[in-house]
Each structure stands twice: as C-alpha cells, then as structure tokens.
Amino acid sequence: MTKKFNITGICIPERHYMVDIGNKLKQINRLIEDGEYFTINRPRQYGKTTTLLSIEKSLKNNPDFLVSSISFEGVGDLVFYDEKTFAPFVLQKIAEGFGFNNEVIQNYLYDSSKSVFNLDNLSKETSTFIRMYNTKVVLIIDEVDKSSNNQLFLSFLGMLRNKYLQRNAGKDYTFHSVILAGVHDVKTLKLKIRRNGEQKYNSPWNIAADFKVDMSFNPNEITTMLVDYVKDKKVKMDIPAISERIYHYTSGYPFLVSRVCKEVDEILLPVKNKEAWTIQDIDIAVKNITEERNTNFDSLLKNIINNNELYLYLMDIISGNLVHSYNPHDEMVVMGEIYGFLKNSASKVVFHNKIYEEVISNFIISKLSRKKSRYFAAEATRSQFIKPNNRLNIEKILLKFQEVIKEKYSKSDVLKSDEFLEKDLRLLFLVFLKPIINGIGFSFKEVETSEEKRLDIVIIFKDEKFVVELKLWRDKSYHKQGIIRLKDYMHREGVKKGFMLIMDKTRSKEFTVEHEDGLMMVWI
C-alpha cells in the first residue's frame, strides 16, 4: 500500500507519513510511570488521538502495564440517565478498552458490571480488579469534552480523583495513571449545576499534573517525516530548508503541516510533472490552502462568527493598532488558545501561525470591505497592477493607494481624522490590496508591532516576495532605525527592494514619495 500524508482521523505508521514523536512520548511516558493523572487538551486536529494510540502501543509492549483506552464520542444521552445505567456502562466500556487480546479481563469486568448499580459500586469493583491483577493499570479517555456537560460524568471524574487521593494515602487501589484528552481543559469544568441555573466551579480534576509537552512539530521533527517520504518516493528536496519553510507558515500545527505536504505531493508535483520539492512549492501550497474551504477552517471561523468580542479582539491584532499582552486568564486568550488560533510570543498575543492569520484576516477584511465601501470603495482592478510579464507592480499599488487616501482624505470627515488613519492604516491597505492579489498571491504579518508603531506586511505573488513596512512617522532618528531594520530583514530574506508606507501626523511630508538605496518610501 502506498503511503500518503493524512489530514483526517488517526495516523497509522504503515499507511501514512508521520513525524517521529519519540521525544514527546518519552516525556508523556515519564508522567505515566510516575503515576500522574493529567489532561491532554489541544485544539482539533492537533494529533491528540494519534498520540494516545502511540502511548497505548508503547505501554502494551511493557509487561508492567495494562491499558484500557476508551472514548465517550457517540455515546447517547440515555447512558447518563441515572447512576444505575451509567455506572455499569462505564465498567463495560473500560472492559472493551483493554482490547480483544485481553478476553479474560473483559469477561471478568463484564461479569462484575452486573453487580454495579451506582458510582460507589463502580469504585469498589475497580479497586477489587486492580488489587487482583496487582499491576499498573492505565486508563485513557479520549474525546472527554463530549460528556463534560453531564453531571454524572463529572461525578465519575470526582470518584477517580477521590480514589487517587486515597491511593496516595495508602487507603485504596485504583488506576496507576489516568489520561483525559479533549479540546477543553477538564481541570476547569464545572462540578455542579444547581437547579436555579447557578454554576459552581470546583474542578473534579484539580489533582491533574501540568501537561507541558509541546505537541506542535518543530523543524527537526518535520524533517523526520520528509526523510521517510524522500526514501519512499525518491523525490529530491533540500529537506532542512523545506522543513523550515513548512514550519515558517504552520508553526508546527500538525494538521497544517500534513496539509501543506499533501498539497505539494498530490496536487503540485503531478500538475508540474516534477520530481523535486522547492521553497516556491511550499509558498504556492500555502496560497492554495488559504483559499480553500475545509472543516478545520469552517470550525475556526464559526467560533469567531459566534463571538463578537473575539471578532473585535482579532481585528485589533490584524490592524496592529493595539498590542495585547499575554494573560493566561484573559477569556479571549483562553478561547483563542483552545481553538488553536492564538498563542503567546514574547508575552504578546499573536496568531498561532501564518496560515490561520491569512484565513482569519481574509474573513475579517472581506467584512470590512463591505462596511467601509461608503468611503473606501474598491478603486482598483488587478489588471492595472500587473506588468506585461505578469509580475506584480507593487510600486503602482502604493502610488495608487496614496492617491486614493489623498482624495478621500480631502473629502471624507471620517478619513480626515488622524486617529482613524493611524488606527486603520493596515486594514485600509489590506482592503485595497486583497482584491489585487487574491487567487494568485497572499500576504501575512512578519514583524510584530512594537513601540515604534511599525508593522511589516509580506506579500507573496507567484515566486516574488515584497516587504512593505507600515509605520507611524515619529522623527528622523526612528526613521533611520526603521530603515536599518528593514534592510536587515531584506538581506536575510534575499529581497532586493523594500517599501515603506508612512503615516505622517505632522504633515511635514504629506503625500510625497522618496527613493533611497533600494527603498521606496510613500507618505500619506
């Protein structure tokens, strides 16, 4: 069977190209060996289930452990009707989780479930079973969020917590380690839902050890997958450079890493009849992916559509007009991390990766384009900004943008506000730019906002890269420093020309253009 890059369901080593997560498994197994109870909460399609399967396989090869791996996905509501129904069901589920190779254990637990009528019976039967087998039993529960709004399930977690505490006090037998996996952090689940609707927060899982294993793929780990692929397909590539480029766009988000590789392998190479991967292939793959509709992106945007506060929070990040300090207790930060599109970078909140940034930016900018049309209608068509050789005329784009702002600035009361221009400069430029490059190119933010009010937009159009720095004019000293930094970035990226779009509140250089040593500077 020919292997492929997998973006749905569990990854199987015999069928799919996979990253070597050996180092991650060592860290997780250390927690298990130490008898810890912990949660693996990561966004959807982050490799949780595949990781759990790898954990299960590694433990089953260890004679010191017995492993039951279960999931509550697809379980109907009737199971949670009362303890009499729920308690025996859980024991039967645990029995199934030991697998077909443990028929003796399964039969024992099935028989035991017949005498289980409540959580107290379940607790006692669990202790009897573990004491009888006198081994380290590990319980893995996947898709734990599916039942996290149910009081009986939360009570079950509370039972496991109490047994854990009693075990540590030498008063009970229970699972050596319990792993709960899902999108949400079970440690923050509400324990009781009172009849009057009041929610009492008192986690049933406050015993859990902190899970600090980085489940994203770093460039070295991505390399292990590409090495396997190259050996199999006999394809040529600069593996370290390709790995770095994939990481550059994905920040190691497992689904996106595989999706980029799949696009190059299954779409770009056959169309181009090529036998080698290039950096440009990765750029094109990313452009294609940001323009597609898939369940991952649909889920991403749905969470934004359903929360206006989150929408406005993300718009701040896109515009660059407000830097959000990272606070792990901030509701917007928590939500962004749960859904996978925000992260902490040097104590600032940023997009998790450039692909998500482009998808979310395109979504928000498309909505802004309609709202701002009354004073910033689309003034440009793509054809007038494409050179005869089909290259992008970025100089003409900047001059046209300057012209449009100048015209609107003299007429619109809204645009006459310096505060408006400073706040929405990046958004206005992207609203202007997107119709020109969409379908052929894409853009993303490269340098984070700083106290100098500067922000770099990188535009990828076909195989060309353009860097446009948007900044607020402060004085000559800051301007010179900005030029030095931009030239340094251009050198590192191999870009010969650079561009600055400068908002001048002093109006000393209003609507002028200057050229200096490979730089084009446009004032508005």
* Whether residues 379 and 368 fall in one domain: no
In this prediction, residue 419 carries a pLDDT of 54
Q: Report yes or no on 223 lying in a domain.
A: yes
Percent of all residues in the chain with a pLDDT value above 70, rounded to a whole number: 89
Q: Count CB neighbours of 479 within 10 A.
A: 16
Determine the structural domain holding residue 491 and report its residue range.
Answer: 375-524
Nearest by Cα to 509 from 489, 524, 491: 524
Distances (CA, A) of 426 to 269, 332, 357, 407, 521: 35, 22, 14, 18, 16
In this prediction, residue 372 carries a pLDDT of 54
Last residue of a domain, one of 358, 373, 388: 373
Q: Report yes or no on 323 lying in a domain.
A: yes
* Whether residues 224 and 276 fall in one domain: yes
Q: Report yes or no on 482 lying in a domain.
A: yes
* Whether residues 32 and 148 fall in one domain: yes
* Whether residues 365 and 380 fall in one domain: no
In this model, does residue 367 exceed pLDDT 70? yes
Q: Count CB neighbours of 315 within 10 A.
A: 20
Q: Report yes or no on 17 lying in a domain.
A: no
The mean per-residue pLDDT over the stretch 212-220 comes to 97
Q: Report yes or no on 489 lying in a domain.
A: yes
* Whether residues 352 and 387 fall in one domain: no
* Whether residues 101 and 179 fall in one domain: yes
* Whether residues 38 and 183 fall in one domain: yes
Taking only the tens place, the pLDDT of each residue in 71-98 is 988 788 888 889 999 999 999 999 999 9
* Whether residues 158 and 305 fall in one domain: no
Query: Is the pTM value of this prediction over 0.85?
Result: yes
Taking only the tens place, the pLDDT of each residue in 239-273 is 999 999 999 999 999 999 999 999 999 999 988 77
CATH number for the domain harbouring residue 270: 1.10.8
Q: Report yes or no on 12 lying in a domain.
A: no
The mean per-residue pLDDT over the stretch 387-411 comes to 87
The total number of structural domains that make up the chain: 4
In this model, does residue 193 exceed pLDDT 60? no
Last residue of a domain, one of 373, 406, 430: 373
CATH number for the domain harbouring residue 156: 3.40.50.300
CB 7 within 8 A of CB 40: no
| Residues paired with residue 454 on neighbouring β-strands, in sequence order | 471
What DSSP element (H or E) covers 141?
Answer: strand 136-142
Q: Report yes or no on 446 lying in a domain.
A: yes
* Whether residues 169 and 78 fall in one domain: yes
In this prediction, residue 490 carries a pLDDT of 86
| Higher pLDDT, residue 511 or 247 | 247
* Whether residues 379 and 511 fall in one domain: yes
Please tell me the distance from the alpha carbon of residue 336 to that of residue 345, in angstroms, as a whole number: 14
* Whether residues 187 and 232 fall in one domain: no
In this prediction, residue 273 carries a pLDDT of 73
* Average per-residue pLDDT for the chain: 87
In this prediction, residue 453 carries a pLDDT of 46
Phi, psi at 110, each rounded to 5°: -60, -45
Last residue of a domain, one of 252, 272, 290: 290
In this model, does residue 483 exceed pLDDT 70? yes
Taking only the tens place, the pLDDT of each residue in 432-477 is 888 888 888 888 776 544 444 456 788 989 888 899 988 888 888 8
* Whether residues 99 and 132 fall in one domain: yes
Taking only the tens place, the pLDDT of each residue in 158-183 is 999 999 999 999 999 999 999 999 98
In this prediction, residue 275 carries a pLDDT of 83
Q: Report yes or no on 9 lying in a domain.
A: no
What DSSP element (H or E) covers 466?
Answer: strand 464-472
Please tell me the distance from the alpha carbon of residue 154 to that of residue 135, in angstroms, as a whole number: 27
